[in-house]
Amino acid sequence: MKIYACARLYSLALLATLSPAFLLAADISSQPSRGDQMLADYFKSRTAALANRSLADIKTLDDWKAKRTEYRQQLFEMLSLSPLPARTDLKPVITGKIDSELFTVEKLHFQSMPGLYVTANLFLPKKLQKPAPAILYLCGHARLITNGVSFGNKAGYEHHGSWFARNGYVCLTVDTVQLGEIQGIHHGTYREGMWWWNARGYSSAGVEAWNSLRAVDYLQSRPEVDPNRIGVTGRSGGGAYSWWITALDDRIKVAAPVAGITDLQNHVVDGAVEGHCDCMFIVNTFRWDYAMVAALAAPRPLLICNSDKDWIFPLDGVARIHAKVANIYKLYGATNSLGLLITEGPHKDTQDLQLPVFRWFNRHLKGEDPVIEVAARRFFTPDQLKVFETLPADERTSRIHETFVPLAPKPTVPVSASQWTEQRQAWTAALQEKVFRAWPDQALSLTMQPLVSVDDDGILLRACEYSSQPSVQLPIYLLQNSRAKPERLVVQIMDDEDWADWTALLRESFQSLTKQEIETLAGPSSTKFAVSGSRFASIKEELASQRTAFAWIAPRGIGPTASNLSEAKRLQQRRRYMLLGETVDAMRVWDIRRGIQALRSLEGLRNAPVSLRAKGSMAVNGLYASLFEPNVSQLEFQNVPNSHRDGPDYLNVLRFLDVPQAVAMAAERSKIRLYQSHADDQGWEFPKRTAASLGWEGKFELLPLAHTK
C-alpha cells in the first residue's frame, strides 16, 4: 500500500493531520477474525483457569466435608433456589389408571408450587408385600405433540418406567417444563431473546431441579415407596436433572445419570454449548466447573454413563469429570460406589446404556444382581399416558420464568444519610459478590502500548492499545490541545453506531482515498455510513477553549474487536460468557473501567475529572463503571433503559437492584444528565426523590433528548 502524506486538517472537530500509516497502526479497521480470535483465546484461558481451580483445594476428607455444605448452598443459589421456595401442598390428583398384567400406571399431576403443575406417570408393581425401592425417572427432550396437543415427554420414556415396575420398583416419570403437557420455555436466552434471564438470576435448570425435589416429596408420601431407597436416573436433559437432584438432596441414595454432563472445556472451548438449551446450565455465579456438581454425589453410589460418539457430551470431558470425582470417592474410601460406563454409539437411548443402569439399581437399591432377561419396551401409546383432558386455567407452568425468581423488593427512598449509606453499601457488596464476581481480583499491568502520536499545530492525536485482561487488547483514541493541560476529560464509550460514525468521519477526512483503500484501513462498514456531524459538533469549541480532552473507548466486541461470525454464532458467544459466570456486558463494564485507568496513566490526565458519554445499553455499562472508579465527575447519557429487563444483562442484578437504583448510587458521586426521547419521570422516580431527600441539589437531571448537543 502506498504511504500518503498527512492530509490537511479539515476540522478541529475531528482527526488532525493523519496518514493511512497511523490508521493501520491504530487498528481502526475491522480486520477479519481479529475479534473472534481474541475471544477464542479469551475463552480458552478463562476456561482453563476455572478447570484448574475446580476441587484443587480438596486434599483430605476433612477439606471436603468442611466445604460440602457451602458448595451445596452455592448450587441451590445458582439453580435459582435461594431462598428455597416454600414446600406448599402438592395437591396431587390422579386423573386415571392403566392396568397391565404386571403393573399399574397412575396418571397424575401435582403442583410443585401453586400453579406450577407437574404431569407424571407413576408405575406401580402389582402384588407388593412391603414398601418397594423407587426410581425417579427424569425425561430428556422427547417431543410428542400432535395437532398442537402435547402428550408430554414422559410418554417418550415410558419403556423405562415399565421396565422398573416389571422388576419390582415404583417409578415416577415426570414431564419437564418445556415438553410437558403444559408447555413452558427452556430456551429463553438464545432462542427467545430473553437475556434478562441472566439479570433475574433465572435458569430453566432451576425449575427442573425444584420439580425434581418436589417429586421426591411425592414419592415419599406414597405408602408403596420405601423412603430410604430412592434412586434417580434419566438421559440427556433428564441426565442433567439427575445431576441437580443428586447434588442437592441426600434422599437420593443411588444415581445413574445418562449423557447429562461434561465440563467447561467441552462446552465453552469445543462448542458443545451450541447443542444445548438453557436447562442444562446453572447461573454460574460462583464460577464452577461441572466436576463440582458431580462431586456432591459422593459417597453415594453413582454410575456416570455416556457413549463414545456423543457430540454434545464428548467423551474426553466426561472422563475428566470422572477423574476429579474419583478423587473425592477415594477420600471416602468408597471407590466401589463410583462407576463409569462408556458404550459405543451416538447420543441415543440404547439398550447398551439401559442394561448397566438397571443392574446398578439392582445392586445398590435391592442388594442383588440377577441376569437382566427382560428388555425395556413400550406398552402404551402417548395418548394413553396423557394426564389432562383440559389444561388448568390457573397454570403458571407456561410462564414460570416470569415469577420463579423473586425480583428485588422495591426500595424505599432514604430519609437520612445513614439509611442511604447502609443501602448503598448493601448494593455495592451484592454487585461485587454476585453480579461482577468474574472481574479479575487483581488487575494486570495496563501495558499501554502507544501506537501513534501526531501533533498538528497544537492539536494532539494519540492512539494506544491497553490490556483489559489477558488476551483482551482494546483501543483508545485521544484528541487534545497540546499547548495546555486539560482541565477535564470527556470519554465517549462507543457502541456499534458510534463506531460507524467514527469510521465514516475517517472517510470524510481522507477524500483522496479510494473506496477500496478506505475499506482496507477502516473496515468494510466504513463505506456504509454517512457522517453524523452533530455527534462531534461541539468538539471544536471545547478543544479551542484549552480546557477539554476527548477520548473514545471501544469495549470488547465493538470496532476492531467486533465479531465477523453469523448472528447465530454471536448468540452462542454470549452463552459461553454465561457458562463462565460472566456476561459480555459485565465484562464491558470492566473494559470501561480499565480504559479510564489507562487514560489516567497518560501524562497530563492523571488528575483530570472524567465525564462519560454514551447511549442506550452502553450508557448503563458506563453507569456501573462510574460506581467503581474515582473522580468521575459527570455522566451524560442518552436513551438509557430504565431496567435491566430491557438493557444490558449482568448475572443476578435484578435480585438486588435495577438501573434507577444504580443511577441514585452514581448521583451521590457524579452529576448525571439523562437525555431521554420521552423525558418524563416514568421509571426514574427513585433517583429523583433520593436526590431531593438527601439534598443532592442539581445532581440528577432528566432532560428531553432534543436538549443534547
Q: Please give the grid coordinates belonging to residue 582.
A: 460472566
Instruction: Express each pLDDT in 224-246 by its tens digit.
Output: 999 999 999 999 999 999 999 99
pLDDT above 90 covers a percentage of the chain that reads: 77
The mean of the pLDDT values for the chain is 89
* pLDDT score recorded for residue 463: 80
Would you place residue 512 in the very low, low, confident or very high pLDDT band (cuts 50, 70, 90)?
very low
In this structure, which topology does domain 81-402 adopt according to CATH? Rossmann fold (3.40.50)
Instruction: Express each pLDDT in 272-293 by its tens digit.
Output: 999 999 999 999 999 999 999 9
For residues 295-323, one letter each, b for 16 or more C-beta atoms within 10 angstroms of the residue's C-beta and e for the rest, the string is bbbbbbbbbbbbbeebebbbbebbebbbe
Instruction: Express each pLDDT in 351-398 by its tens digit.
Output: 999 999 999 999 999 999 999 988 999 999 999 999 999 999 999 999
pLDDT at 666 over 60: yes
| C-alpha to C-alpha distance for 542 and 595, rounded to whole angstroms | 22
**pTM of this structure:** 0.91
| C-alpha to C-alpha distance for 546 and 604, rounded to whole angstroms | 13
Mean pLDDT along residues 23-47: 69
* pLDDT score recorded for residue 24: 29
| C-alpha to C-alpha distance for 313 and 240, rounded to whole angstroms | 11
Task: Indicate the angle between helix axes 204-221 and 237-248, nearest 10 degrees.
Answer: 70
* pLDDT score recorded for residue 449: 85
Q: CATH topology of 20-47+422-707 equal to that of 81-402? A: yes
Task: Please determine, looking at this structure, whether the domain spanning 20-47+422-707 carries the CATH number 3.40.50.1820.
Answer: yes
pLDDT at 625 over 80: yes
Mean pLDDT along residues 112-127: 97
The structural domains of the chain, with segments of one domain joined by +, span 20-47+422-707, 81-402
| C-alpha to C-alpha distance for 102 and 168, rounded to whole angstroms | 9
pLDDT at 4 over 80: no
DSSP at 335: G
First to last CA, the chain: 39
Chain centre to alpha carbon of residue 704? 34
Would you place residue 538 in the very low, low, confident or very high pLDDT band (cuts 50, 70, 90)?
low
| C-alpha to C-alpha distance for 376 and 251, rounded to whole angstroms | 26
Instruction: Express each pLDDT in 670-702 by its tens digit.
Output: 999 999 987 666 789 999 999 999 999 999 999
